[in-house]
Structure 1
């Protein structure tokens, strides 16, 4: 990094950058000027948005090094090319294509010693890197404890071990989850004590036999819903432990959904979790979800998360603190929306902007009775999917609907903990960050405020969310809208006819039972 006297000076005694408050606090983008940034998790939903934002709003940076794992025989150069072909980088390619040359792929694996990076590249990184943004994780809720631990907890430890060796590091940000302490109702912006010695677990879990690891998993989980939230909580402790030597921050996003503004409203490229479920709600293939509809649904746009990560790195340097900051990047205490309100908006805009891939007329019911939900899943999800698969098979196409229906039901069941509970997230640090960003000269480019006072409206957001799913996931542009609306209209009348037929059949059966009963009574008389 080429140091600028207006920005930083390097303290040779403690190997930490010291900010010039008069400059750094006013210029978030310039905090990244000439910096070399190391990013993990770049191929994920959050990672792609993060890299895109760095290129667009921090164009003065030197280089972005992406830790990438060679996969299925493909070299990292091929994986990097595939990453940059993603639509998220379309605007960058049009406006400033040369800046893409600043992205460097580093072959490695977060589960391996020294992150699986070659000795030469490892040395280069510890000499050059100024900012580390760590978002790599396995986000599967049903992940076996050992794998979740190796990726989420030990992986974080390995990243921090490298950070300890970095000669010019000024900031480290760990992307955790707001649900790392989901066993509590009120969640402060602090790292909570664990009910066990995580270091003992860390030293033994990799060597345990599979059966012993499963027994340990059940004991450790306690009130945690899954291994993802548990191993994220453990990783936070490792970050806290290293924060005495490394300027660190933790960002805890809630459920991450489509973008609010950047790279464009509604951008999304992942169907995991909530996005996939409500995509199918819009297509009419999901009719029942286990949910308490009047509880708060805490979701956060991906670009708000990215802006929080980037400004947290800046905030750590520009506004130093004696303790490590934790930012609960959530919406529930800032601009709440209930599950019912989100459902109504989803149905509204799914009907206004249907996809040509709509299968049934959209409409969903939230239920808390699991037995009734199971009946509805079979009647309205699996059986119709099986019928469609028969049609696909008969027309010599590959059946997939039943498999997909079961996959989304698994997602619903995995997420039921989050749709039947709610949390009160403290946002003091987040508000402090918001205020600091608003005071910066270029703060409007790093907006982290989703309050109504800042113009955020859920109605507009859900509309763009539905349009984004349509465009980026279903690959269905608005040129098919008239065709889709005609199809939706036919499905509406088909549903009405089906309801009428069902009513007639049920009525006939009821009358038959009644007549039979009356006949028996007459004979007895």
Structure 2
């Protein structure tokens, strides 16, 4: 059975108190045991020393932990899940390097000293390869579960990994890199994740531990379908909720959206994935020893069209007009003419197809009992997309926005039905 793999395993999770980290922790501590134990029995697990809360800092050397704690972790930990990360799309490359790239490489370097390490999971993003959009003229950009070399590199993975070290050194010295300047990423964040993937993998390859690495690439992480409970999310860590808030509360009459789709209303897509789908894909692929990159996404059958999302947002909008969408094939991602919100969500007029071959193959390997216990795909059966269940989270975000304006919070909250 799949869950048997986790018996007697010690797991270190960075970002365990965050949106994704909380869901991972819940799944490991509760669902793993609840499936086999009655409630009165599995609750005792929370009173044992099986849970250790560590107040660490990924931006410090050795996670900011004492030498004694590091020594203990090196002897005990079997699985490392690096889920701690900013998702701030406004960060410059220098800040992305400090908050994402350097901490990820440092943790990977630290992990090489863990004598009992079986798996290292790096949580990246499906949007790490969004630069591929500008290298094609097709309305839809297909991205596979692999590391794509950047322009100017060789076609071999080894070339890509070696260039990552050069890029890291350039950023350290100058704040940028040649490969970043040669590519059109929508945000430095995407490039930072691309670079971190290569640096992490390179370290494990040099150690001869490439088979221990799983790079998990979620798309836009949304509220849970089932675990820890239906609708579970953290509004400040749920990009689609923030986007919906902007659509609902914005007073603009029109907004320009870059696209090359001929019918963007139905061709442009938003790939949102429930957080528990992300967690279960990770749990399953780790247990079945999947290596390399794995997409945790809505995928071809779970993606939303732009109009699905827009329509759901407009149902909650109280302002008496609906902003007009001006689709433009001439406006660039980085144009100053874009609305401030669109500078963050510049891929709104695009269509990315993130392939899911590894999860599709894994699904075939699961027993009927295991399939019934896992949520590996977004459930789209008989359901239209809605945002009504997020009303309170949207109002919470509006209240936060109100603090930056002269308008009273109650007035702005009124904008959401």
Residues 33 and 268 (structure 1 numbering): CA distance in 2 closer, same or farther, change over 3 Å?
Answer: same
| 1:415 maps onto 2:330 in alignment | no
Residues 167 and 218 (structure 1 numbering): CA distance in 2 closer, same or farther, change over 3 Å?
Answer: closer
Residues 285 and 302 (structure 1 numbering): CA distance in 2 closer, same or farther, change over 3 Å?
Answer: farther
Residues 491 and 143 (structure 1 numbering): CA distance in 2 closer, same or farther, change over 3 Å?
Answer: closer
| 1:425 maps onto 2:373 in alignment | no
Deviation of 1:466 after TM superposition, in Å, equals 2.6
Match of 1:277 in 2: 243
Q: Deviations over 1:480-525 (max 9, x none)?
A: xxxxxxx9xx999xxxxxxxxxxxxxxxxxxxxxxxxxxxxxxxxx
Find the partner of 1:240 among 201, 206, 215. 201
Residues 33 and 491 (structure 1 numbering): CA distance in 2 closer, same or farther, change over 3 Å?
Answer: closer
Match of 1:58 in 2: 32
Q: Deviations over 1:354-392 (max 9, x none)?
A: xxxx763584443325999xxxxxxxxxxxxxxxxxxxx
Match of 2:7 in 1: 33
Structure 1 segments unaligned to the other structure (5+ residues): 1-26, 61-91, 351-357, 373-405, 477-486, 493-525
Paired residue secondary structure (1:264): coil
| 1:46 maps onto 2:20 in alignment | yes
Match of 2:327 in 1: 368
Q: Which structure: greater helix fraction?
A: 1
With structure 1 as the length reference, what TM-score do the two structures score?
Answer: 0.61
Match of 2:294 in 1: 327
| 1:113 maps onto 2:61 in alignment | yes
Match of 1:302 in 2: 275
Equivalence map 1:199-210=2 (5 Å): 199-206=165-172, 208=173
| 1:227 maps onto 2:188 in alignment | yes
Find the partner of 2:127 among 161, 169, 179. 179
Q: Point out the more displaced range, 173-182 or 35-44.
A: 35-44
Match of 1:194 in 2: 150
Match of 1:470 in 2: 391
Match of 2:265 in 1: 293
Is the Cα contact below 8 Å between 2:299 and 2:356 reproduced in 1? Answer: no
Paired residue secondary structure (1:266): coil
| 1:311 maps onto 2:293 in alignment | no
Deviation of 1:28 after TM superposition, in Å, equals 2.3
Q: Point out the more displaced range, 148-157 or 102-111.
A: 102-111
Equivalence map 1:505-520=2 (5 Å): none
Q: Deviations over 1:187-240 (max 9, x none)?
A: 11111223462202223433x2xxx425x4895361111111101111111233
Deviation of 1:42 after TM superposition, in Å, equals 2.1
Residues 162 and 446 (structure 1 numbering): CA distance in 2 closer, same or farther, change over 3 Å?
Answer: farther
CA RMSD of aligned residues (A): 3.5
Residues 223 and 171 (structure 1 numbering): CA distance in 2 closer, same or farther, change over 3 Å?
Answer: same
| 1:128 maps onto 2:76 in alignment | yes
Match of 1:450 in 2: 378
Pair member with larger Rg: 1
Paired residue secondary structure (1:441): helix
Q: Deviations over 1:439-477 (max 9, x none)?
A: 26333222102265xx4x441xx33x431x22456479x
Deviation of 1:43 after TM superposition, in Å, equals 3.0
Task: Give the whole-Å Cα distance in 2 for the aligned partners of 1:449 and 1:491.
Answer: 34
Residues 118 and 414 (structure 1 numbering): CA distance in 2 closer, same or farther, change over 3 Å?
Answer: same
Residues 100 and 298 (structure 1 numbering): CA distance in 2 closer, same or farther, change over 3 Å?
Answer: farther
Task: Give the whole-Å Cα distance in 2 for the aligned partners of 1:38 and 1:364.
Answer: 46
Paired residue secondary structure (1:154): helix
Match of 1:249 in 2: 214
Is the Cα contact below 8 Å between 2:254 and 2:323 reproduced in 1? Answer: yes
Find the partner of 1:268 among 217, 221, 233. 233
Paired residue secondary structure (2:94): helix
Is the Cα contact below 8 Å between 2:146 and 2:293 reproduced in 1? Answer: yes
Task: Give the whole-Å Cα distance in 2 for the aligned partners of 1:131 and 1:471.
Answer: 36
Deviation of 1:289 after TM superposition, in Å, equals 4.9
